[in-house]
Structure 1
Amino acid sequence: MANQNRPANTDVSKAGSDLHSGIGHSLQHESARKHATGEAVFVDDRLDLQDQLHLYARLSPHAHARIAALDVRPCYEFDGVALAVTSKDIPGEIDIGTIFPGDPLLADAVVEYIGQPVLIVAADAPETAYRAAQAAIIEYEELPATLGIKQALEKKQLVCDKRWQRRGDAKAALARARHKIEGEINIGGQEHFYMEPQASQAVPTEDGGMTVYASTQNPSDVQRQVAKVLGTQMCNVVVDTRRIGGGFGGKETQAAGPACMAAVVSHLTGRPAKICLYRQEDMLMTGKRHPFYNRYTVGFDDSGVIEGIELTLASNCGYSPDLSAAIMDRAMFHSDNAYYLGDVTIDGYCCRTNIASNTACRGFGAPQAMVTIETVMDQIASYLGKDPLEVRKRNFYQDDNGHNTTHYYQPVRHNLLHAVTEQLETSSNYHARRQAIAEFNRNSPILKRGLAITPIKFGISFTASFLNQAGALIHLYTDGSIHLNHGGTEMGQGLNTKIAQVVAEEFQVDIAQIQISATRTDKVPNTSATAASSGADLNGKAAQNAARTLKQRLITFASEHFHTHEQKIAFRNGAVHIGENVLPFKEFIELAYLNQIALSSTGFYRTPEVHYDESQARGRPFFYYVFGAACSEVIVDTLTGEYKVLRVDICHDVGSSLNPAIDRGQIEGGFIQGMGWLTTEELIWDDKGKLITDGPSNYKIPTIADIPSDFRVSLLENNHNPEQTIFHSKAVGEPPFMLAISVVGALKHAISSTSESGTLPELDTPVTSERVLRAISQLQASNQNSTTANNASPTKSSQ
């Protein structure tokens, strides 16, 4: 792996030649062994402190109701109960909305969804807290509730103003288009189902301060919200996050609730307090991926090229704004996926309903929009009787015909859509397999196969430009060891490993010399959430900045101390080469210390060139794009609707990979999680607004049995990100998630083979076995009706 982004005073030709722990190497995740053995310490694994209290939150049983009476006196009849807290007991502000208000820590006068916390009980044992919380007397007066997207649209109940994006005149383009189709699709939400539930431990410190150990993707937001509810300054609150057991967006904003609960109890009692939600309470209390209801009208020519399109996106936001406006913006940004759409009108509605406030989830709204445009591509192909891949490729962004600018007016630079698709087309043997599947389906009355390729183009950056910043801190010790801290959180994705590789590369030392400590708000302040696939991009650059500041300081010292020109000084293979002198890294750092050279530095990075004017709906919201494509093959039992994903081929663009093994793991994991969202993970609420699928017994995430037995992942060959990212790598967290859309395309292909006309089924997601069977039944009924009509027509004519 070539080393890029080196300063001028580094010997590029030799640096890294023998180092096997810097960038580009497939190093093991720094906590892999601890994860496998159970030694990794999460919040609930922390030892109980003396006098520690355990919390339980009593939840609302109504989707919308007025709290008529609330009596917590029965709670104190249980031995060991220290405190029962209601909204009236919160010492500071009640609202913990991250961007917009609307999220009270505890319901105040009115409950807005089933599962909303109403009171907290703190006791010396979790079981006592639970039983005491159930003893509280709460009386409600039920109010009308809005539970669905369409109902909210009819009532014009939104959590924010309508969003929009425009290019050209879509209505005129549709009017002159030779062909036009329209349709709609309901896209289900998704439970994050992180392995570690929401958890937090608060410990009071001197002078009214608070240390909070939180399972969060966003330590600075937890710090801010804890300070708000306690009525104190942020400098009095320290948030510590060593690792979290998965987040996927679910711990970006909604980790603040449990943290604030623990902090309030700890503040009021002067005792440590801990809360770890039970799985059912976690699923009831917290929001999920937004369900969407999307409509489209598209006009196209004889070859399937889109000339104009109107899209309406409506999301089920739940009861409060949370991040819904930003999620809708990203959905609209990605409504094109890989395609130039001609004249475009996109309207976005963030619908307010009486369910838990939905929140960030891997892809942040983009998957829901990308499923919709891929549905459009399939419909166009079916309408014209063409191979869906042919239609997709005809609509790709192009560099040579003016079709290289998005509907928000950002050019698609360094377009790799054709490269990834062509590599996958060849490696997957797509065309030969389509022919073989057609032959198989003609001779197989019960089992049907399907095959599909779908591409992705995914923008990388926070679309709120101020979030694109990060900090880091590096200490060099006299024994040659390195302490590293950065603002990102490790949630299993390998972020700490990649950042350590960056620092190892810069100093040309073994990664074993580097220790990354827990993310702490008193070490690196004002951090952005570890989200938007930006963790390695932002924090890697910040750590690199800190390392290069130190290196330049050390090079200047060495030049003066040894009377050697800076160009003759290089860090290489665990040593510092100074002209003819070679000092082991440890000895050189000790020498610098003895000569009173500062051995600590902060680092900072902000993403350049990112901007977006919401009033004009144009700009450059993304620093760069990630590209990829997946080919999926399925087999369907037409008698039961059951199906199996047989084989998956993926070609993905990661730029110059920092760690190929971790990147491949992210691609595989992202695909499987996306496949779960699109196939088995069905969220169901009853007619009162209660989540029915509230645990692993009835909410089905993919298991080992669902992983394709033939799973082939390749990184795009000879790839180099021209943008000045960290060592020219690309983000890999969210983009692979959308590759799973190919499974839906393959299922449609298999189902359509049950129809003599090849009619494409209309499928909402998730495409469960029940939906597959229903689609097959509808196509077969349509076939029978057509046959009956055709048989009847000659008789009618003869009369």
Structure 2
Amino acid sequence: MNARDKNSTESPVVISSRADAGAPSVQAETIEAPTHPSTGSGRTALRAAGQSRFHESARAQVAGTATYIDDIPEVRGTLHAAPVCSPVAHGILRKLDASAALALPGVRAVIDAGDIPGDTTLAAFAHDEPVFALDTVMFTGQVIALVVADDVMTARRAARLVKLDIEPLPAVLNVHEAHALESYVLPPVQVSRGDAGAALKRAPHQLEGRFEVGGQEHFYLEGQVAYVLPLEQNQWWVYTSTQHPGEVQHWVSHALGIANNAVTVECRRMGGGFGGKETQAGHLAVWAAIAANQLKCPVKLRLDRDDDFMITGKRHPFAYHYRVGFDDSGLLCGLELEMLVNCGFSADLSGPVADRAIFHADNAYFLEDVAVASYRCKTNTQSHTAFRGFGGPQGVIVIERILSDIARTLDLDPLDVRLRNLYGITERNVTHYQMQVEDNVLEPLMTQLALTSGYRERREQIAAWNASSPVIKKGLALTPVKFGISFTATLFNQAGALVHVYTDGSVQVNHGGTEMGQGLNTKVAQIVADELGVPFERVLATASDTSKVPNASATAASSGTDLNGRAAQFAARHVRDNLAAFVAGLDGCGAGAVRFEGGQVITEKSTRRWEDVVGTAYANRIQLWSDGFYRTPKIHYDKTTLTGRPFYYFAYGAAVSEVAIDTLTGEYRVLKVDILHDVGHSINPAIDIGQIEGGFIQGMGWLTTEQLVWNGKGYLQTHAPSTYKIPATGDVPAHFKIELWPEANREDNVHGSKAVGEPPFMLAISVYEALRDAVAQAGGDALLVNAPATAEEVLQALCA
């Protein structure tokens, strides 16, 4: 039976579990490989895909030999840059006095907007962000100039000596003030279906609420960095830690006033990205390139952690106002939802982020009569940007909160209210943006998780505990996720790759995606190895490079493997077809009868070593390299009405979280987490499980401890690890059990897999809802718990 024909009643595959008292254990299980297009068999040989393989850079990273941008040996004459930043949130820049900085030994120059040979505005789609501040500064931390010196510490010391004469102007620092002033980076957007107002009037019950969800710092281990080298004839080589080399190429050439083909951008790996290096890595590359152009020498720019916090954007904070109607069973009747999005001072990616929040405001639930209004507010803060989930989490959390509040109002189990409102299979299966949900596994997945986690029994046990425990109260929540996979901007759903087979039989693959620790290169190498029938160890994935694969999309939207893996598969298939035709000619058979398995090339007449076939093919002038290109099918999207099919498929999952809170202090601990998640047929279970674990914990940080605080003057006070608290190892629950849903992707995706980067992030909403459940069971007001639900936030709700 083909793997695609399996139905959702199969038992889930247990990949990772943490016993309550034990250390984590990871079991790498063999998952049946999909049918190979040329062999017609799934298990005739050990396949690379479906196996837990080490990350391709794991050993080098552990040994400290994996090269990041700051590890690249510096060319003789390299100078170092440091930013000069605005100390005020809004003001008129009257004068910049660099005399004290230039007097410091080792300082070579101060670079500002007057040194830009091309456009003084960045080549972002909204064209609303200056390269350096011009006449006006727009946020505390905005880069006004660069100091360039012989070494990095001298540059940083000199940057602090630059004197700025800025006349302060009134600053808009929160979305409510911006909304009242109609201060927007982009026009408001409204999406509706049915008549929400009339439905609310007919509904037996109504609720109205307001709450806020904070932003989140990316906190990648490797900070923002770029190293720019001038080449001959006004050409440039840019090393950058970026998720989007193609955009960096475009931005640098735009700022230097030269053609794209004169700029080559390379990125071997990043030390984390999470969306923070999708657009904003481009800023550093542009700044360094302008300095390098002015001084005619290589320039490196690496931000320290404090400057990184102060300069770069975060996850978008949201504020919500909703009115919801429902019946006695908790079934939604109508919903009016207003989202205020804090975009910062420029648009950046705020438009598509806010759009995706609208798309995911339904999460797993059918909304028959709904009206959503989204306001993209302009404030005098950092320009907020992409972050794992890209607006999806800010959409999902609002409907999950609403359903929990409905359940408490009706004294029903929140799980029952959620199940009551799920999308259906043949009815109630069209989203509010007119996309049909065709691959729905929500009801069996959630039911299975409730059973395996003992959800019903645990609710009874927690009720008994809370009745007898005066100080420590517990809460429990099960929340699902339905996450759309594809770029909502249809043009980005394309990818290219190159596969080279060398005469010794070794294979090299290069694609347009970038490796940020998520294992993309490992998965692509597995895919190529299977396509050619060679051992995984024979395939090497090389650095992302705009001179090899041009016009590549960002590695984002969870689509890195979907796009680049398929493109690489097609490139390898072209080479395999060339070899198959050659061998068929030697053996007098059809090319379809030639099999590539286990490092051998097999026909009914012969079995040859892969290396021998490659060497003989080269001697006969057979092409041993090829390109591959992939464009995601089926998708279409009208950005003026926000309707269509923006996603190729959905990824699903659910999590059960149990928490305990101290009602005297508001402190809490996450006790248990059970996850059942849908990754289709996993290409690499170990990597996928790592993504699920990491995504969940990062999502937990967003909703619990990671609090961004700006003061009344627009200064970010939480700009270092001493004041900004990401989850640590001690925050990982002792019981952390993860299972994989066994069904293959119903769409024709590479090896039947599904994306895994972003969807698990939203499973952490179960922690937030479990905290609110505990607050309610302790007699507090769960409606008062905003996110992040810090100990102070929980205590205030308990004391209400």
TM-score normalised according to structure 1 size: 0.95
Q: Are 2:487 and 1:462 aligned?
A: yes
Query: 1:797 corresponds to which residue?
Result: none
Structure 2: distance between partners of 1:232 and 1:761 = 55
Distance in 2 separating the partners of 1:557 and 1:694: 61
Equivalent residue number for residue 785 of structure 1: none
The aligned counterpart of 1:772 is 794
Residue identity in the other structure for 1:721: N
Distance 2:444 2:267 in 1: 40
Aligned pair 1:292/2:322, yes or no?
A: no
> Matches of 1:615 and 1:196 in 2, distance apart?
38
Secondary structure of the residue aligned to 2:784 is coil
- Residue 194 of structure 1 is matched in structure 2 by 220
Q: What per-residue deviation string (whole Å, max 9, x for no partner) do you get for residues 402-458 of structure 1?
A: 210000010111101012101111110001111011001100001111111000000
1:726 aligns with 2:750: yes
- The answer to whether the 8 Å contact 2:782/2:797 transfers is no
**Are 1:73 and 2:77 matched, yes or no?**
no
SS at match of 1:67: strand
Question: How much does 1:32 deviate?
Answer: 1.4
Query: Is 1:209–2:231 an aligned residue pair?
Result: no
Moved more, 654-663 or 34-43: 34-43
Offset at residue 616 of structure 1 (A): 3.2
Measure how far apart 1:578 and its partner are. 2.5
- The Cα of 1:133 is off from its aligned counterpart by 2.0
CA-to-aligned-CA distance 1:305-360 (integer Å, 9 cap, x gap): 00111111110000000000100100000000000011110110000000010000
User: Does structure 2 retain, via aligned residues, the 8 Å contact 1:441–1:448?
Assistant: yes
Q: Which residue number corresponds to residue 2 of structure 1?
A: 32
Q: Partner residue of 1:259?
A: 285
Instruction: For 1:268-667, list aligned pairs within 5 A.
Output: 268-400=294-426, 402-667=427-692
State the match for 1:130 in structure 2: 156
Alpha-carbon distance between aligned partners in 2 of 1:72 and 1:775, rounded to the nearest angstrom: 51
Give the whole-Å Cα distance in 1 for the aligned partners of 2:593 and 2:82. Answer: 63
How far the C-alpha of 1:42 sits from its partner, in A, is: 0.8
Task: Tell me, in whole angstroms, the C-alpha distance in 2 between the residues paired with 1:642 and 1:222.
Answer: 44
CA distance in structure 2 between the aligned counterparts of 1:759 and 1:82, rounded to whole angstroms: 60
Q: Tell me, yes or no, if structure 1 residue 11 matches structure 2 residue 33.
A: no
Give SS of 2:199's match: helix
CA distance in structure 1 between the partners assigned to 2:105 and 2:603 by the alignment: 71
Task: Verify the 8 A CA contact 1:421 1:455 in the aligned structure 2.
Answer: yes
Given the superposition, is the C-alpha separation of residues 568 and 276 from structure 1 closer, same or farther in structure 2, using an over 3 Å criterion?
same
The one-letter code sitting in structure 1 at the alignment partner of 2:309 is M
Deviation, structure 1 residue 130? 1.6
Secondary structure in structure 1 of the residue aligned to 2:566: helix
2: CA distance, partners of 1:77 / 1:267: 22
Between the aligned partners of 2:782 and 2:178, the Cα distance in structure 1 is: 30
**2 CA distance for matches of 1:448 and 1:3?**
46
- Following superposition, the deviation at residue 664 of structure 1 comes to 0.5
For 1:762, give the aligned amino acid.
Answer: L
Q: How far apart in 1 are the matches of 2:521 and 2:747?
A: 23
Q: Are the counterparts in 1 of residues 587 and 605 from structure 2 also a CA contact under 8 Å?
A: no
Partner in structure 2 of residue 713 of structure 1: 738
Does the residue aligned with 1:135 lie in a helix, a strand or coil? coil
Residue aligning to 1:795: none
* Maintained 8 Å contact 2:123/2:254: no
Aligned match of 1:788: none
- Say which of 749, 760, 769 aligns to 1:745: 769
Q: Aligned-pair distance for 1:38?
A: 2.1
Residue matched to 1:235 = 261
Deviations 1:687-715 (A, max 9, x none): 00000000000000000000001100000
AA at the equivalent of 2:39:
D
- Tell me the distance in 1 between the aligned counterparts of 2:418 and 2:784: 19
The AA in structure 1 aligned to 2:46 is L
Residue 283 of structure 1, CA deviation: 0.3
Residue identity opposite 1:44 in structure 2: D
Distance 1:740 1:505 in 2: 35
- Give per-residue Cα distances to partners, 1:161-185, cap 9 Å, x unaligned: 1111111111111111111111011
Secondary structure, in 3 states, of the residue corresponding to 1:128? Answer: helix
TM-superposition CA deviations, 1:613-636 (whole Å, max 9, x none): 133332001000001000000011
In the alignment, residue 172 of structure 1 is paired with which amino acid? A
- Conserved? CA contact 1:474–1:546, under 8 Å: yes
| 1:283-310 deviation line (CA, Å, top 9, x unaligned) | 0000000000011111111100001111
Shift of 1:565: 1.7
Shift of 1:214: 0.2
Alpha-carbon deviations, 1:600-621, whole Å to 9, x = none? 1011000011111133332001
Tell me if structure 2 keeps the 8 A contact 1:626–1:654: yes
Give the distance between the partners of 1:512 and 1:141, measured in 2 at CA. Answer: 61
The residue correspondences of 1:64-103 to structure 2 (distance < 5 A) are 64-103=90-129
Per-residue CA shift, 1:518-562, capped at 9, x if unaligned?
A: 000000000000000000000001001101111112111222233
CA distance in 2: counterparts of 1:436 and 1:336, whole angstroms: 31
Q: 1:15-62: CA deviations, max 9, x gaps?
A: 653325x10000011111222232221111112220110110010001
Segments of 5+ residues of structure 1 without an aligned counterpart are: 779-799
Structure 1 position 135, deviation (Å): 2.5
Tell me, yes or no, if the aligned pair for 1:97 and 1:104 is still in contact at 8 Å.
no
CA distance in 2, matches of 1:93, 1:461: 32
Q: CA deviation at 1:77?
A: 1.4
Check whether the contact 2:653–2:676 (CA below 8 A) recurs between aligned residues. Answer: yes
Contact 1:19 1:509 (C-alpha < 8 Å) held by counterparts: no
Does structure 1 residue 185 correspond to structure 2 residue 215? Answer: no
Q: Give the number of equivalent residue pairs.
A: 770
Structure-2-length-normalised TM-score: 0.95
Three-state SS of the structure 1 residue aligned to 2:654 is: strand
Pair 1:244-2:266 in alignment: no
Structure 1 SS opposite 2:601: strand
Deviation at 1:2, TM superposition (A): 3.4
Secondary structure at the aligned position of 1:466 is classed as helix
Letter paired with 1:650: I
SS class of match (1:629): strand
What letter matches 2:788 in structure 1?
A: P
Q: Hey, what's the Cα distance between the residues in 1 that align with 2:782 and 2:262?
A: 60
Shift of residue 97 of structure 1? Answer: 4.3
Q: Distance in 2 between matches of 1:477 and 1:595?
A: 14
Q: Distance in 2 between matches of 1:16 and 1:430?
A: 37
What corresponds to 1:142 in structure 2? 168
Using the alignment, how far apart are the partners of 2:168 and 2:322 within structure 1? 37
The one-letter code matched in structure 1 to 2:156 is: Y
